[in-house]
Structure formats: C-alpha cells, structure tokens
Amino acid sequence: EKTRVLNEGVAYIMTDVLQTVVSDGIAGNAAIYGEKVGGKTGTTDETWDIWFDGFTPKYSAALWIGTDNNVELNTTSATAASLWSKVMSQVDRAKGGEYRSRPDNVIAKNGEYYTTGTQPPDPPPEPKKDKDKGKDSKDDGKKDSNSDKKDSGSKEKKDKKD
C-alpha cells in the first residue's frame, strides 16, 4: 500500500528552489559538471558545525563537518558543499537520470511557481477609456462640487503693512 506524504506540486517547487541554491545561490560549490544538483547549506550559530545536504535525480547525500566537542571551525558551509561535490562526482550511479516533469497542479506566474489555488490574484483591469473624449468611461465631464471650494484646512496669507 502506498501513502502519499507530499503533494507532487509542492515537491516539484521545492526541488526547483533547492536547485536554485546551487545554480544561483550560496551552494554553487556543490555543482557537478553536467548534472542538475539541488541542496541546502547549513552552519550553526557558533560555527561548530557546517553541512550540505544535496541531491541529483538519482541520489541524495548529506555531508557534515564538525566535532563532538563543539570546536569553532574556521570555514563555512561552502566548504561542505565543495566536498560534497567532490564525493558525489565520483559516484557514477549518482549521475544521469531525470527529474519529474512539472505536474498539472503547478502554475508559472510572473516568474514564480505556485500550486493551483495559491497563486496571487490577477490585478484588476484598467478602467476603459471613452473613445471620444479620452477620459475614463465613468467620468461624465461634470466637476466635483467640492473642486472649486477652498481647502477647509488651508489658511489665507494676509499682507502685513509696516
């Protein structure tokens, strides 16, 4: 018996986001030539631990660098990403393969992905222009009855004569 634990649209979007961490983000050192890699870097606040958890279409692996004694490291998670890439580049079975195609419940809008029903609403349509006057169709040409009145909050300047 199979039990679905994650919506396929959410899984697709998360895969895309984590691939961007490698292709355009902080984990560029995890890249493997010719492969589309995704993953996430990590560092503890005190830099006692650094890691990279990554995947290819066929394999996933996590790499952690640290000690049991909480010794501050003098490097960053970019080092873990680089080491992960070196290890995974040597695993022939981790190479190749394809990710799943975009499922039907994923919508692309304004350069972002959304699952159906979570996308932002379309902006309201622009008011229609009256062809003859070039004005908004709801503009009847009448002046606002208050437009000729002075602003009740304004004060008139009075000339002072010395």
pLDDT digits (tens, 9 = 90+) for 46-75: 999 999 999 999 999 999 999 999 999 999
pLDDT of residue 124: 75
Closest Cα partner for 26 from 76, 88, 72, 92? 76
**Two tokens at 119?**
């996308």
Q: Look up residue 108 and give its DSSP letter.
A: E
In degrees, rounded to 5, the angle at the alpha carbon of residue 76 between the alpha carbons of residues 70 and 51 is 70
Q: Is the pLDDT of residue 117 over 60?
A: yes
pLDDT in tens, 76-113: 999 999 999 999 999 999 999 999 999 999 999 989 99
pLDDT of residue 155: 41
- At residue 82, what are phi and psi to the nearest 5 degrees? -65, -45
